[in-house]
Amino acid sequence: MKKELRIFGIIAGVFLFAYLVPFANASIRNAIMEAFFMLQEYAREHVLLCLVPAFFIAGAIAVFVSQASVVKYLGGKAKKIVAYGVGAVSGAILAVCSCTILPLFAGIYKRGAGLGPAIAFLYSGPAINILAIILTGRILGIQFGVARAVGAVTFAIVIGGVMQFLFREEEAEKQAAAMAALLPEDAKSIWKTAIPVALMILVLVFANWGKPGSLSLEMASGETIVAARAGETADDLLVKLADSEQVTAISKVEIESLTYAPSTYTSIYQSRFYVAGVFLILLVILMSLWYTRGEWKEWGGSAWTYAKLILPYLFGGVLIAGFLLGRPGHTALIPAEWIANAVGGNSWLSNLVASLAGALMYFATLTELPILQGLMGSGMGNGPALALLLAGPALSLPNMLVIRKILGTKKTLVYIALVVIAATLTGKIFGLIAG
């Protein structure tokens, strides 16, 4: 009966959408196009290099990492300083967006990690991005960089701890069931599991190595511009010029060529696919030597299970987010001016609106900075700006839909509320301090 009602609900929803949506309206047509442009951009920029490796890492955790190890180090009875420390700091290594972290979060949580450490990992993955924090300090000022770094680490631990406390009875039952279901340790040496998982993480990290911050642009006009990268949209490169405090949008059509300032970071970026390829080849060789065909098949099946669990909700969420808010620098159904007008000053309401807007918007890695610059140029206060920085990268509408599928509605709503409340409170305090 439930299945039939679900089918009826889908049919009724599609019918009402087709019947009621005013497709003749120019704003609606533009928002629909923005939704698909955003989905296309997401598919091109994030699925192959970010999500696919993340699915295989999650599958490896589920198949190869013993449940006893996960429970021991990340379970509810693990040492808090170890469990929450690992969860909160791991994001600095991974530097992934709010969607790429989801398969990894699902993998450790379903494998027996406590809710608190798993939530700390979920929040920290996108929030504690070393490059993003450095660029935040460079573009918005050292105060913002420090506040973002301290706030992100603190949020990860505090929100994880509060979630663990609020759902302690359910978690106690989950941990008891996990302990009862523990299988004997695999005879395979721990390093035969640790090395392949580490290699997969290295493939993910290097394949998605961030673009260098210092660059020199050769313009079609013959002019040379030296600037600091602040992000980019589909049409523009966003930079901060040496003699300006504002972010400037330069059309990609006007750029003849660009070069990056020489550095170790730049060298790694230019060789990132070769480095990732070496780690991938080494991974395949070691897996072929250490694991049977049956284990390979089980690993692939587990990765596919996570893909089926997560991708439909991610794609649907990206479409909705694109329809409502559009891509950076593009207007969809909700004009950016509406948000800018609501986040001026440092009132409780402006901080709350900034937190909610950040929680709903989808930010690819580093795109929050140019969006924030545009909003601040339209009158956004310092407090709401930090609130958006703390809520935005860690949450998004696609992210929420997947978390609900993994944790359930109640835990997801509590998690979202905690992030929004913490970001609002921190933004208010920062606004009073920074002025």
Q: Is the whole-model pTM more than 0.85?
A: no
Instruction: Out of 35-44, 265-274, 334-343, give the one with best mean pLDDT.
Output: 265-274
Environment class of residue 378 by beta-carbon count within 10 Å: exposed (0-12), middle (13-18) or buried (19+)? middle
pLDDT digits (tens, 9 = 90+) for 195-239: 898 899 899 888 888 788 788 888 888 888 888 877 776 677 878
Q: Could you give the domains of the chain? A: 28-209+272-434 (no CATH), 214-262 (2.30.30.100)
Question: Strand pairing of 255-260 and 236-241?
Answer: unpaired
Kind of pairing, strands 214-219 and 236-241? unpaired
Q: Which residues of 40-71 are buried (b: 16+ CB within 10 A; e: fewer)?
A: ebbeeebbebbbbbbbbbbbbbbbbbbbbbbb
Alpha carbons 10 and 248: distance in angstroms, whole number: 45
CA 287 to mean position of chain CA atoms: 29
Which tens digit of pLDDT belongs to each residue from 24-69? 888 888 888 988 988 888 888 778 888 888 889 888 888 887 777 7
Closest of 255, 230, 254 to residue 242, by C-alpha? 230
Beta bridge partners of 177: none
pLDDT exceeds 70 at position 403 = yes
Give ∠ CA 389-127-198 in degrees, rounded to 5. 160
Apex 425 CA angle, 342 and 104, nearest 5: 95
Strand order in the sheet with 236-241: 247-251, 236-241, 224-232, 214-219, 255-260
DSSP 48: I
End-to-end, the C-alpha distance of the chain in Å comes to: 58
Least confident span in 11-15, 45-49, 266-270, 289-293: 45-49
